[in-house]
Amino acid sequence: MRVNWDVSKVLITLLLVILVSSLNNHILAAERLKLGTTTSTENSGLLNVLLPPFEKKTGIKIDVISVGTGKALKLGENGDVDVVLVHNRKAEDDFVAKGLGVNRKDVMYNDFIILGPKNDPAGIKKTKNISDAFRKIYNRKASFISRGDDSGTYKKELEIWQKDNLKPQGSWYKEAGQSMEMVIFMADNLRAYTLADRGTYIALKNKTNLAICYQKDVLLNNPYGIIAVNPSKQKSVNYSDAMIFINWITSKEGQKVIKNYKISGQQLFYPVTTH
Amino acid sequence: MLLSAIEKSYTLLTTLDKNLYEIVFITLKITVFSIIIASCFSIPLAIAIDLMSSKSRRILIAILNSLLAIPTVVIGLTVYMFISRSGPLGQYNLLFTPMAIIIGQIILAIPIITTIILAGFTKTDRLLHETLITLGANKFDLMKALFRENKPLILSAILAGFGRVIAEVGISMMLGGNIRGYTRTITTAIAFETGKGEFAMGISLGIILILIAVLINFTVYLTFKNEYILRDA
């Protein structure tokens, strides 16, 4: 039984070196601030520019868990994140009213748009308001990809359908259950319409053939709010760091970073305060 | 699009892109940790099962084989419910940390490593047992002897477990949360980057994942090229 142990000895030593070097605060660290947020804030690249100056200034390390608004609030309710940055005012107000979150503050806003094939098969470009646009898609049974999850964008979409008592169903209406990016790519590949937030669209603009088919309606406003998880409901949450972050993101410094974040010259999010 | 993505991925790999290698390093740290702990359970477990009466051995092997079929998302879901702050182990703040991924991966790896070792044992000389017992060995001596005689087999089982664990995505995504620079592993990063339409990063990570698999398998091959286990297989 002649075994070439040299090779495996080298390998095992290598693995052990990696292991020992991993016994630093990477795996064992506990004190971090967990931010539950929507895919639009992380995937648009905003958090990549927003968090480093905060982390550098305060020494607080932020872990971003990007899911939909509904899921982020659920994570907050269970105490699995310390602070949430989401975009659905009604759900946010419910969250605070139920005592699950405290100190809600407005952070920034942009707006929703309807994306669709460039030739606009349902002809919604000339419609007067968002309800008309949705009704046209509905009547023509033009392909529409819905987020179909618990995200802020999906909640907004349902709000618009419900306003006109429309119940979208059938093979033209597809619930994807995926992130905003995936839904935009699906709509692109299936030549369908979809409701998207402008930030994500600008970030993906060069990767999709979809065009803005409808925009600018009061109903399409998309404000983002930040809420600390209530420490009296969830004892183990990191409330003090959450408040430091909330105060920073709404401060002159944080708001300026949001304002200055641009992709190919286009601003993605508008800060609420203009100091 | 495909060509430009491949071109960009080549640049990422050759220029030692910081983000790329950070993800690879995190993945290796988490996976190695998981596999070492899983091995600490699996090796004694396999040896103990092998020394049992043939009836209980068969039952336990059947159970372990069924455990092999559990999807990673089910392991993810189960561990999630336990370690969520509102779950029974909530006070330890484990969810969305590397430790959460490690727990899930240990559960994934134990049946794999154990069954592979056991499968190798059944082929090895039953004569060893009998000889040792005739020579007056007790259970503990038997266990030591089994371990000593089967080191190559055990190492290849560990590496097979490593290959499975490093390639899984369900556990890392659900329990780690894909946090940049903390719990973003090769597989979750591929899912995430593809979702953003950033194929170059995904391709680069995929290539590294394949390279790691090749490296492991060739190490096993070189280590045991004179070993009977591989010739049998």
Tens digit of each residue's pLDDT (9 = 90 or more) over B122-150: 666 677 777 888 888 888 888 888 888 88
Buried b (16+ CB within 10 A) or exposed e, B175-210: bbbbbbebbbbbbbbbebbbbbbbbbbbbbbbebbe
Which segments of B51-183 does DSSP mark as H helices, in order?
54-67, 72-83, 98-123, 126-134, 139-149, 151-166, 170-171
Query: Are A66 and B180 an interchain contact pair (Cβ–Cβ within 8 Å)?
Result: no
Residue B93: pLDDT band (50, 70, 90) is confident
CB contacts, 8 Å: B183 with chain A: 63
Q: How far is A208 from chain B (nearest CA, A)?
A: 9
Q: Which residue, among A50, A63, A66, A151, would best test binding to B if mutated, counting the most B CBs under 10 Å from its CB?
A: A63
CB contacts, 8 Å: B29 with chain A: 18-19, 21-22, 26-27
User: What distance lies between CA A163 and its chain's CA centroid?
Assistant: 24
Query: Are A63 and B96 an interchain contact pair (Cβ–Cβ within 8 Å)?
Result: yes
Architecture of domain A111-220: 3-Layer(aba) Sandwich (3.40)
Residue A146: pLDDT band (50, 70, 90) is very high
d(CA B42, CA B45): 5
Q: Which residue has the higher pLDDT, B78 or B11?
A: B78
Predicted complex ipTM:
0.73
Report the percent of chain B where pLDDT is more than 90. 49
Chain B's closest residue to A63, CA to CA, is B179
Most distant pair of Cα atoms in chain A: their distance: 83
CB contacts, 8 Å: B182 with chain A: 26, 32, 61, 63
Residues 240-269 of A with CB under 8 A from B: none
Least confident of A8-12, A24-28, A197-201, B59-63: A24-28
Chain B's closest residue to A47, CA to CA, is B180
A83-86 and A33-38 as β-strands: parallel, antiparallel, unpaired? parallel
- Render pLDDT for B1-51 as a digit per residue (tens, 0 to 9): 788 888 888 888 888 888 898 999 999 999 999 999 999 999 999 999 988
Q: For domain B2-232, say whether CATH 1.10.3720.10 is its number.
A: yes
- Render pLDDT for A93-128 as a digit per residue (tens, 0 to 9): 999 999 999 999 999 999 999 999 999 999 999 899
> Which residues does residue A222 pair with via DSSP β-bridges, in sequence order?
A110
CB contacts, 8 Å: B226 with chain A: 1-4
Give me the pLDDT at residue B125, please.
Answer: 62
Q: How far is A209 from chain B (nearest CA, A)?
A: 13
Report the percent of chain A where pLDDT is more than 90. 72
Where in chain A is CATH 3.40.190.10?
10-109+223-271, 111-220
Give me the pLDDT at residue B123, please.
Answer: 61
Cα–Cα–Cα angle for A159, A74, A166, rounded to 5 degrees: 15
Give me the pLDDT at residue A212, please.
Answer: 96
d(CA A60, CA A162): 42
Residues 4-33 of A with CB under 8 A from B: 4-5, 7-8, 11, 15, 18-19, 21-22, 26-28, 30, 32
Query: Are B219 and A7 an interchain contact pair (Cβ–Cβ within 8 Å)?
Result: yes
Query: Are B224 and A237 an interchain contact pair (Cβ–Cβ within 8 Å)?
Result: no
CATH homologous superfamily of A10-109+223-271 equals Periplasmic binding protein-like II (3.40.190.10)
Query: Are B223 and A234 an interchain contact pair (Cβ–Cβ within 8 Å)?
Result: no
Which class for A46: exposed (0-12), middle (13-18), buried (19 or more C-beta within 10 A)?
A: buried
